[in-house]
Structure 1
C-alpha cells in the first residue's frame, strides 16, 4: 500500500479500511481478546490472514498483545487509540440500519456463528445463580442445527456438541427467526406469541430467558427503523 494522501480521511482509511480490519475491531470492541475468539466471529477469514491483520493493527498502534484470560495465554487488547474507534464502528452500523439492513437472506443464516454471538452477548448479571444448560435448535433445511449454551456466570460457554449436562431449557425456532430476534427485526414477545419461538422447561427459567441476552448492539435501532411487520 502506498503512502496515504495527506488528508485525515485518507490517512484513517489507509488503516481502518484495509479488508477485515474494521471487523476485527468490531470483535474486539465486543469483548473478544483471545486469537481463537476473534477468529470465531469472522467466518471466511483465515487464521494466517488474521495473524497478519493483527500485526498490522499493532503497527498502527490500535492493538497490543496482552493476556487473553486468567490462564496467561497470549491475547490482544485495544489501545486507547483503538478503543476510540468505537463511535466510528457504531455509527457505521447505525448508517447500515438506516439505509441497508434488510432481513437476512438464506445464505446469510449461520447458526453456529449466531450461537457464538448469543454466548458473547449474555447478560451475565442476569444469569441464574446455578448452572443452566440451554439446548438451542435452529430449524432449517436440510436438517435442524443444534447448539448448547452452558450458563455459568463468567464461565458460560457455547457448544456445538452436547456438553453432557442435563438440559434445563429447550429453545426452538427457525434459523431465520433466531437471526431476526438477535438483530431486532422482531421481539421476544412477538416470537413467543406466534409460537415462532418455543421454549420448554422450568417455568421460572422460561420467564427469565429473554433477560439472559443483551442482543446485538444495533437491535434497538433496527426495531425503531424497521417495523417488525414490514
Structure 2
C-alpha cells in the first residue's frame, strides 16, 4: 500500500484502502459474484494483470477479501470478508450518486455494447421466462470504433440461466432489436422509458408476443431514475 494521508480521521483511513485507482471496480466485481482472478480481470479489462495482483494483495492484507483454495484445480478464488461486505452500501451509494450527477460525463467512447449486454444478463427475471429457449439479437449503431466487434450480439434466455454471445449461436432468432447504442444505454440506466423508445429510437422485428413480454423479463418497465441498477457489471461474453 502507498503512503497514507497521515490523519486519524476515519474517512482518511477508509480512503487509504478503498479510494485507490481500480479498487472500487474490483470490489464491484466481487460483489457481483465473481471470484476467479481471470473473471475479475475480464470485468476490469483496462487494468494490467500486475496491478490487479497488487490491488488484490492490498485488499487481502487489509482484511477486505480472503483467498480460498479450489478443490478442482488447485487454484484459488477471492471472497469478500465481513469487512468487505460492509462496503456494499458504499458501492450502492457511489452508484446512485453517479447516476444522479455524472450522466453528462458519459462519452461516446464509454458506450460499450458488451458491458450493456452483460448488465442485461444480470437483470433478467428467470422466473418470468417461458419454458423454452428465447433468442434475442441486438444490432447496435453508433458504436465506438474500438467496440465494433460488439456491434451485433445475442442474448439467449433460459429459465436456468442467460448467455451473452459475440458470435451467432446458430439458433433461430425470436426477436431482433436495432438502435443506437446511446439509446439502449439511456433505457438501461432509466434515463428514457422503454415505452418511449420502443418502435421509435429502438426498432423491433420478430415475434410480437416476445416483443411484448421481454421488457418485463429484462425489467425495463421498472427501471427509471434511482431504482435503475447502480452497478453495471463488465462484460464477459461467451464466444460461441
Same fold (TM over 0.5): yes
* Aligned residues of 1:103 and 1:180 also touching (Cα < 8 A): no
Is 1:136 aligned with 2:132?
no
* Aligned residues of 2:183 and 2:201 also touching (Cα < 8 A): yes
- Partner SS state of residue 95, structure 1: helix
1:199 aligns with: 204
* Aligned residues of 2:191 and 2:225 also touching (Cα < 8 A): no
> Any stretches of 5+ residues in structure 1 without a counterpart?
224-230
2:155 aligns with: 149
2 CA distance for matches of 1:121 and 1:37?
19
* Aligned residues of 1:119 and 1:149 also touching (Cα < 8 A): yes
Work out which of the residue numbers 96, 107, 114 in structure 1 matches 2:98: 96
Task: Give the C-alpha shift of residue 20 in structure 1.
Answer: 0.6
| Alignment: residue pair count | 220
Is 1:174 aligned with 2:180?
yes
1:162 aligns with: 168
* Aligned residues of 1:93 and 1:218 also touching (Cα < 8 A): no
1:122 aligns with: 124
Task: Give the C-alpha shift of residue 222 in structure 1.
Answer: 7.8
TM-score when scaled to structure 2? 0.79
* Aligned residues of 1:67 and 1:76 also touching (Cα < 8 A): no
RMSD (Å) for aligned C-alpha atoms: 2.9
> Any stretches of 5+ residues in structure 2 without a counterpart?
229-240
Say which structure, 1 or 2, has more relative contact order (CA 8 Å, 6+ apart). 2
- Partner SS state of residue 156, structure 1: strand
1:227 aligns with: none
Task: Give the C-alpha shift of residue 103 in structure 1.
Answer: 6.9
